[in-house]
Structures are given as C-alpha cells and as structure tokens.
C-alpha cells in the first residue's frame, strides 16, 4: 500500500497525461517510477522490460492502421525511430517524469543518465498501465497523438525513404564512418545482391533489379538493426 501523498503525486502525473485513474493499479504505477538507484529490490526494472514489449505492440498497431501502404523497410525505419530512447525521453520529459521519479542522489546528479532514465521510466509506466487493465485502453488515446505527430515530422525529412542516406547519417553520427556495400553472387537471373557492412559486421543483405535497388534494401534492413544495437549499448 503506497502512502496517500505519493498517490496524490501519481494522480497529478495521470492528470497531466489525461489518463483516468479509476482502474489504475497504484502499486504498479508507483513501482514504475522507482529507479534502481533508489532500491535494488523494489524498482522499475521488470516493468521497463515488460513495457518495452507493450510499446512495440502499440507502435506496430499504429503503423498498421495508419501507414499500411508503406514498404516494410520504411515501416521498420519509422518503428525504430518511434521506440528510440531519444523519442521516449522527449515525451516523458514533456510530462515532467523526473519530478515523479524516485531515484538515488547520485543518479539525479548525473546528466549522462538522464536520457536512458526517462526512456526506461516511460516504458515502465506503459507496463504499469497495461497491467492495470490487461489491455491498451489506458495507453492508446494519449500515446497515439504523439506517435502521429512524430511520424509526420520524420516522414517529412528528405532522407526518409532513402535508407542509404539515413544509414549514412547514423554511422557518421556515431562513428564518423560510412557504410560499406559489397556485391555478392546471386543465383537468380538479373537479380543483384548486396551486403552492407559497418564496423566489420554485416548488418543487412538486399537484392534488387539493380545494384542501387539492392543497396537500398540492404540499408533498409540494416538501419533498424543497427539503431537497436546502438540503443542497447547505450543502456548497458
């Protein structure tokens, strides 16, 4: 049972998010905003893990309902952006999550952990909201407008739809290098196959009716995989 003053704080957060509190599991919502630096036994680690899957399902449903006419490569790139720590932290910061997040002083004073801290707590809150009703009903109405606004902004960028350009931006921003494309043998007549390599690892294999088309497909496959790898490395 959480303290009445803590419950009032959490109600303030739900009011900001315009989420009704009638069906909220307050213990779960409280735990979703307890950073591991505060407690090693009662914290948001599990809810963050669970909420990550909830988030991805909400995003996939949103993309299916709104962008089903887009190529799979575009959808994968857009999904990767929508579930990125940068986007999640920005949404969480807009609602003032740090004000409600209980954490140790060392974590609070460390600006380097701010982005991952906000993103992780955002996912944990999603987990708590889902488990409060075992459905997406407390999530979709307030999260989908954010997904819509961000998607419109991303799709308006000249580089979107050009996976090669987007992948090049990603590798230059993180390592100051360019992806390397290698043509490989194809068993199909008039079909070209290309691998894309970054940091001595192959991140995607594409095929097409031209080398250029094969490179674009390889980059479209590599982009979400490499983005996810960067996020995982940042969290560890």
pLDDT digits (tens, 9 = 90+) for 63-74: 999 999 987 777
Q: With contact defined as beta carbons under 8 Å apart, do 29 and 15 qualify?
A: no
Catalytic residues: 52, 123
pLDDT for position 50: 96
Region 148-159: what's the mean pLDDT?
Answer: 85
Average predicted confidence (pLDDT) for the chain: 90
**CATH 3.40.50.300 holds for 163-235:** no
- SS3 of residue 183 by DSSP: strand
Kindly report the backbone phi and psi dihedral angles of residue 204, in degrees, each rounded to the nearest multiple of 5, phi listed first: -175, 150
Q: Hey, which bits of the chain come out as E strands?
A: 180-184, 192-198, 201-208
Q: With contact defined as beta carbons under 8 Å apart, do 194 and 137 qualify?
A: no
What CATH number does domain 4-155 carry, 1.10.1520.10, 1.10.357.10, 3.30.360.10, 3.60.15.10? 1.10.1520.10
Question: What is this structure's pTM?
Answer: 0.73
For a pLDDT cut of 90, what percent of the chain falls above it?
A: 59
Higher-scoring residue by pLDDT: 109, 9: 9
Domain ranges of the chain: 4-155, 163-235
pLDDT for position 78: 85
């Amino acid at each position: 049972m959480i303290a009445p003053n803590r419950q009032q704080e959490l109600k303030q957060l739900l009011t900001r998010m315009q989420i009704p509190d009638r069906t909220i599991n307050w213990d779960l919502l409280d735990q979703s905003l307890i950073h591991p630096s505060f407690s090693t036994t009662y914290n948001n680690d599990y809810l963050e893990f669970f909420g990550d899957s909830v988030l991805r399902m909400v995003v996939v449903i949103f993309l299916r309902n709104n962008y089903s006419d887009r190529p799979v490569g575009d959808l994968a790139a857009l999904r990767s952006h929508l579930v990125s720590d940068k986007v999640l932290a920005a949404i969480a910061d807009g609602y003032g999550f740090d004000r409600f997040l209980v954490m140790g002083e060392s974590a609070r004073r460390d600006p380097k952990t701010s982005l991952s801290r906000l993103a992780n707590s955002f996912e944990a809150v999603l987990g708590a909201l889902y488990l409060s009703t075992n459905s997406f009903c407390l999530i979709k109405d307030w999260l989908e407008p954010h997904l819509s606004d961000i998607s419109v902004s991303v799709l308006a960028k000249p580089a979107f739809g050009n996976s090669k350009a987007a992948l090049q931006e990603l590798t230059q921003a993180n390592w100051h290098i360019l992806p390397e494309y290698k043509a490989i043998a194809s068993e199909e007549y008039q079909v070209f196959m290309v691998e894309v390599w970054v940091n001595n690892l192959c991140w995607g294999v594409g095929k097409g009716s031209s080398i250029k088309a094969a490179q674009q497909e390889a980059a479209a496959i590599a982009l979400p995989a490499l983005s996810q790898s960067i996020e995982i490395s940042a969290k560890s």
